[in-house]
Chain A
Amino acid sequence: MAKFLFFITFVSLLPLFGSSFSSENPTDRRILVLLDDFAIKSSHSIFFKTLQTRGFELDFKLADDPKLTLQRYGQYLYDGLIIFSPTIERFGGSLDLAAVLDFVDSGHDLIVAADASASDLIRDIATECGVEFDEDPTAVVIDHTSYAVSETEGDHTLIAGDDFIQSDVILGRKIIETPVLFQGVGHTLNPANNLVLKVLSASPSAYSANPKSKLSTPPSLTGSTISLVSVVQARNNARVLISGSLSLFSNRFLRSGVQKAGSSIKFEKSGNELFVTELSKWIFHERGHLKAVNVRHHKVGESDEPAIYRINDDLEYSVEVYEWSGSSWEPYTADDVQVQFYMMSPYVLKTLSTDGKGRYFTTFKVPDVYGVFQFKVEYQRLGYTSLSLSKQIPVRPFKHNEYERFITTAFPYYGASFSTMAGFFIFTMVYLYNK
């Protein structure tokens, strides 16, 4: 009995021991990897190994495993999902398109790699993320001017891509100088979706077609509108990576040398390893995850936070912003954090100054309009999780005794009334006692 009780206590405490995704520790820990076949585990092992050495627990499963599930008793078992099974038509177990989307909707991260002849399921997942793959299942991206020179590969479907997104936070501070090898299917971004970003774009001369058949109709995707690798950061800060090429992550491409057509420089190693490593760091929230704490405001010269401000008060606002570095919260430095003093529309919008240690502050005068205001920090930067803080604060007008008391202009009136009063006093004396 005692043992049983102990067991129950232990099991009920289990969730507390898990070092999983939380707002205090936003890096993912447990990742489910869905594969078409276990051969991918060995052919893409370098990528998986970089994840494992960074402390991720990878759980490899076949995509049609009948026991597949993402959650149990309403709790998600994983923080991230990698779908390396481009041909899967139906997942096994309880996993389906809706389950994957729910997973993302609850703030978890996703990596999807497609390939030429990607299945409808994979295409549907991509479509839901705002990415549309070329509908022609035989089409691959071909580029006759910026392909990777290869002695064995002649049909120019091996692309050397070097049109990266300009973002330190997504691709890391180290600039990727080597082209990235890509072989697979291209996609376009849904123009209505402004959360999805092209990370690796094709060159203007690229097109998406079947290399084996003659091109009779205009290719549906051409030029730099073709995206090779895209990312989405959802409004709930879930991050999704969609790649048109599974080989992009493969050992072969990671190890291979690269020489872009028309260039005489031959690189010993392609940029793939750096690219996929840095990108996965971003996807799994090892970078670009911000948090804001200690929102404070008070009147200048005071230190306590008032319950209400009066119009025309001078106030000081401060907030601390930190960035997650994968292991700890580091002060975030930027010069574009802004605060709004907001009621229906911003009355004041001011850029905060920083002390370089994560604290952002400013002072301003409360507008001479009373009502219920909000301090708002809406911080949205490319690649960073968005910060959205709002704190309500009422603003009142002057009290009757807070107006100016001695108005010089009114002195004649005061003078008149007081001299009349003095006159009255003397008059009473004279009137009563004069004889």
Chain B
Amino acid sequence: MARNLGFLVLFLSLSLCEAAIFRPITDSHRSAALEIFAPVDRSYISLEETYEALRTFQVLGIKKAADINKETCSIVVEKLGPSSSSPKDLFYALRVNSILKCNINVDNFEVITSKLQAVVKDANSLIDLYYSIGSLALIKDEDAGSNVHLGDADGIFHSIKALSQSDGRWRYSSSGAESSTFAAGLALEALAGVVLLASSEVDQSMIGTVKNDIMKLFDSLERYNDGAFYFDEKLEHQGPLSATASVVRGVTAFAAVTSGSLNLPGDKIVGLANFFLGIGVPGTAKDLFDQIDSLACLENNRFFIPLIFSLPASVHSLTTRDRLKVKVNTVLGSNSPPLTVKLVKAFSSGSKETPIVENKELKFDPESSIHSLDILPKTVDVGKYIFVFEVVLHDPEHKKIYATEGQYQVPMFFTGVIKINSAEIVVLDSDLGSIETKQKLDLSGETDVSLSANHLQKLRLSFLLTTPLGHVFKPHQVVLKLRHETKVEHIFVVGNSGKQFEIVLDFLSLVEKFYYLSGRYDIQLTVGDAAMENSFLKALGHVELDLPEPPEKATRPPPQRVDPCSRYGSKQEITHIFRAPEKHPPKELAFTFLGLTVLPFIGFLIGLLCLRVNLKNFPTSAVSSTFAVLFHVGITSVLLLYLLFWLKLDLFTTLKALGFLGAFLLFVGHRTLSHLASASAKLKSS
């Protein structure tokens, strides 16, 4: 159910542009066909596709370049040659040949015929039967001299008929359980082939039952509510388009070979045509072929030829006074038989009871084959109308050949320029209703009012809208918008009282709605309607509102959406601010003080010189003098170690070295000092 409903909605949305008006095939189909069926590398992928392309071009009347035909013909000749090909290949090769008329060797047909006849005899699947019977029928067409026929036509007819279901659908084979509408089309085409090839007349009662099946099949037609009929397909790989196309092909073929009428309802045939036309221009090759081929079947058949009623335009401007034009064509766009289009009645979409026009015949122009209504009644004003047309065929015999829908209800829009008068904007005092400020507005030009009001006052905007005929016009969209500086918007629908459009904004009752936001509000007025040619959106100016302070519990304005683009973009660069280096005194000062620190040492040396110091006490014996030298070398190295400690060594190396030096110093120091002590003791005792 949901599925059907969905399809319905989809279709409605697709056909809204047409508003239930379907148009015959146009040039857009031709250009689309050339685009879609463009051969890749000067040939198509398969013969089936080649046939689809050629058939589409043939129906649309497109002449193709001969070089492709030449190459295709060579493939066809090869397929129809002595090497064995499958029935499907033969079938499409023969079909392509029937369009291209290649120079093929007719002698080989006999072999193919006997092979195909064998296939037909043994076949039990519908597809095999379809291809082989189709091929045989095509051979018969091609080679009139040959004597292609089916001996046991009745038997084959039976075997195909045995696959049919009670609801008019067919199964693909006796073992397959699923019945398919697509298969029904194939079966009908195959049956038509059997009738054509039968050496003796096929049993009429059996043809009667098939006709009955067709009727049943047509009972299962589904309908969109815009008047299009289609066959739904339960199997998944086939869409409704291919199923419907298959049935149309089959029924056309079957009707062509049997005598007597099929008694198909004309409105359903028109509905089928509407379905194919409603698709518009399909985007894939298969769909386009299905559409064009079945429309070609509908264009030329033995049951009913649908006539398509179309309007070049359903939107008319009263300012230019266009003529109302109607076209009636066959599906492929060729001219209709002589007929008259009558305007039964036309009424405003609002009031069904009072038609503005009744029973008027449209004038036919044979040159452009357009039916047109010369003079629209003066009473037609802007707005939406429903026009009801009727198509009457001149020749009563044609009613058996052509199918029309009977009455056509068409929505029409008449647009015009709406006059805007006496527009004014007023600030009123609430209590007395006295006018505080009043400003005239020119809504057709630029306006820039600047007003100010407080919460005790009211704002009134009023204007008049009149149609070209002087009636009051009520557009669909009359909206006043107030926008605060903070982008909070308030929207009001401007109502109309009798003639005048008027809105009164009583700010006292609106303070809460305005979130107590005082400040500048921009005023914007939008007036628009489908029938109004001068719909507008205008900034009128602004009003300064002075509203009371919000109470504590007042609702806050809703958050406004921030522009998400502000999230993007590069950020400002950040550079780290390093700690400032410590301040040092100037170098000169340091060097001066360095010099000063050396001065006491120099003073010390001078003092020593003044004291006339000597080193006469230095030990004289070899051993003790060695120890004394070593002692002083040790002291020097400790002092040098301190210097090295400053220059490069770290604490640990220094302490290690100092340890060794210290032990050494202790030893040599002790020897030296004890020697000196004993020497001085000797001196004292002596």
A binds B: yes
Interface residues, chain A, CB within 8 Å of chain B? 36-49, 62-64, 85-90, 115-117, 142-145, 150-158, 183-184, 189, 191-192, 194-197, 204-205, 207, 209, 211, 214-219, 222-223, 246-247, 250-252, 254-255, 312, 336, 338, 340-341, 346-351, 364-365, 367-369, 380-382, 401, 407-412, 414-430, 432-435
Q: Give Cα A88 to B1, complex, Å.
A: 10
Structural contact, A218 and B492, CB atoms closer than 8 A: yes
Q: Give Cα A90 to B571, complex, Å.
A: 46
Structural contact, A87 and B2, CB atoms closer than 8 A: yes
Q: Give Cα A62 to B235, complex, Å.
A: 12
Structural contact, A46 and B314, CB atoms closer than 8 A: no
Asked if B177 CB lies within 8 Å of chain A CBs, one says no
Contacts of A416 in B (CB 8 A): 597
- Contacts A252-B280, A419-B600, A434-B613 given; does A36 touch B6 at CB 8 Å: yes
Contacts of A435 in B (CB 8 A): 614, 616-617
Structural contact, A207 and B477, CB atoms closer than 8 A: yes
Asked if B535 CB lies within 8 Å of chain A CBs, one says yes
Q: Give Cα A90 to B1, complex, Å.
A: 12
Structural contact, B584 and A407, CB atoms closer than 8 A: yes
Q: Give Cα A407 to B581, complex, Å.
A: 13
Give the one of B491, B560, B562, B600 with max A CB within 10 A: B491
Structural contact, A144 and B604, CB atoms closer than 8 A: no
Known contacts A143-B528, A145-B535; 19 additional CB pairs below 8 A are: A36-B10, A41-B239, A43-B279, A145-B536, A157-B16, A215-B493, A222-B479, A255-B280, A338-B573, A349-B572, A368-B579, A409-B584, A411-B593, A415-B593, A418-B643, A423-B600, A433-B614, A434-B615, A435-B616
- Contacts A117-B9, A151-B314 given; does A423 touch B239 at CB 8 Å: no
The 8 Å CB contact of B481, one of A117, A144, A183, A223, is A223
Taking the closest CB of chain A, its distance from the CB of B171, in whole angstroms, is: 21
Contacts of A44 in B (CB 8 A): 283
Structural contact, B476 and A215, CB atoms closer than 8 A: yes
Q: Give Cα A168 to B312, complex, Å.
A: 39
Q: Chain B: interface secondary structure?
A: mixed
- Contacts A116-B13, A219-B491 given; does A419 touch B597 at CB 8 Å: yes
The 8 Å CB contact of A218, one of B479, B529, B575, is B479
Taking the closest CB of chain A, its distance from the CB of B651, in whole angstroms, is: 9
Interface residues, chain B, CB within 8 Å of chain A? 2-7, 9-11, 13-14, 16-19, 21, 28, 32, 233, 236, 238-241, 279-284, 287, 311-315, 384, 411-413, 415, 476-479, 481, 489, 491-493, 526, 528-532, 535-537, 558-562, 564-565, 567-576, 578-579, 584-585, 587, 590-591, 593-598, 600-601, 604-605, 608, 613-618, 628, 632, 635-636, 639, 642-643, 646, 650, 672, 676
Structural contact, A85 and B413, CB atoms closer than 8 A: no
Contacts of A211 in B (CB 8 A): 476, 530
Q: Give Cα A271 to B2, complex, Å.
A: 32
Taking the closest CB of chain B, its distance from the CB of A418, in whole angstroms, is: 7
Q: Give Cα A252 to B279, complex, Å.
A: 8
Structural contact, B614 and A434, CB atoms closer than 8 A: yes
Pairs A-B, 6 closest by C-beta atoms: A144-B528, A36-B6, A154-B413, A45-B283, A151-B313, A144-B535
The 8 Å CB contact of B17, one of A143, A153, A156, A218, is A153
Structural contact, B17 and A252, CB atoms closer than 8 A: yes
Contacts of A150 in B (CB 8 A): 17, 315
Structural contact, A415 and B597, CB atoms closer than 8 A: yes
Structural contact, B537 and A426, CB atoms closer than 8 A: no
